C-alpha cells in the first residue's frame, strides 16, 4: 500500500495539534525559526507567508526532528492514528524520509518534477511545483518514499 497525500496531511495535522507533543513542538519551533538568534530573518519573496512557514516547520518537525525516545513525531502520529497496512506503509515511508537539496532536471506536465542529487534522481509528485519551477532551479524538500 502506498502512502497517500491525505495520510501525510493527517500525520502533519496530528503533529501540529497533539497535546502530547506540545513541549517538544515548542522547543523545535524555537530551534527551527531561530527565535533565540540575534538579528532578523529575511525570507525570500513569498517564503515569509505564515501558512507556508508553518508547513515547512511541520515537515521538518514531523520527519526530521527526533523525540527523546528516538522516534520522529510522524512515527508517533502513525502509531496512534493509523492501523494495519496503512500504519506499516506510513512507518516505512517515515523511516525512509530524507531532506534533500536537488536540481530540477525535468518538469513533467502538471503532475511532477524530477530532482537530481549527485547520482540519485527523485520524482516529486506535485500539482503546484511544475507550475513554479523550471529546469535548473534548486529545491530543498522532504522526500517521502510512497511505495
If pLDDT is split at 50, 70 and 90, which confidence band does 43 have? low
Q: 83 with 105, same domain?
A: no
For residue 78, pLDDT beyond 90? yes
| 18, 69: one domain | yes
Burial of 140 (C-beta count, 10 Å sphere; 0-12/13-18/19+): exposed
By residue range, what is the domain housing residue 136?
Answer: 98-143
Name the pTM for this structure.
0.80
Q: How many domains does the chain have?
A: 2
* 83 and 104 inside one domain: no
Same domain, 90 and 56: yes
* Domain match, 112 and 131 both: yes
- Which band of pLDDT confidence, cut at 50, 70 and 90, is reported for residue 114? very high
**Residue 80 and residue 74: Cα distance in Å, rounded?**
10
Amino acid at each position: 500500500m502506498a502512502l497517500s497525500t491525505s495520510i501525510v496531511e493527517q500525520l502533519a495535522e496530528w503533529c501540529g495539534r497533539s497535546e502530547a507533543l506540545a513541549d517538544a513542538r515548542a522547543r523545535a519551533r524555537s530551534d527551527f525559526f531561530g527565535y533565540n538568534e540575534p538579528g532578523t530573518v529575511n525570507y525570500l519573496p513569498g517564503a515569509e507567508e505564515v501558512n507556508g512557514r508553518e508547513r515547512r516547520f511541520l515537515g521538518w518537525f514531523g520527519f526530521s526532528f527526533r523525540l527523546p525516545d528516538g522516534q520522529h513525531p510522524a512515527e508517533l502520529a502513525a502509531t496512534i492514528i493509523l492501523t494495519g497496512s496503512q500504519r506499516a506503509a506510513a512507518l516505512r515511508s517515515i523511516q525512509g524520509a530524507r531532506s534533500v537539496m536537488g536540481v530540477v532536471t525535468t518538469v513533467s506536465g502538471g503532475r511532477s518534477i524530477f530532482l537530481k542529487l549527485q547520482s540519485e534522481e527523485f520524482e516529486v509528485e506535485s500539482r503546484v511545483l511544475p507550475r513554479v519551477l523550471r529546469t535548473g532551479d534548486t529545491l530543498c524538500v522532504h522526500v517521502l518514499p510512497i511505495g
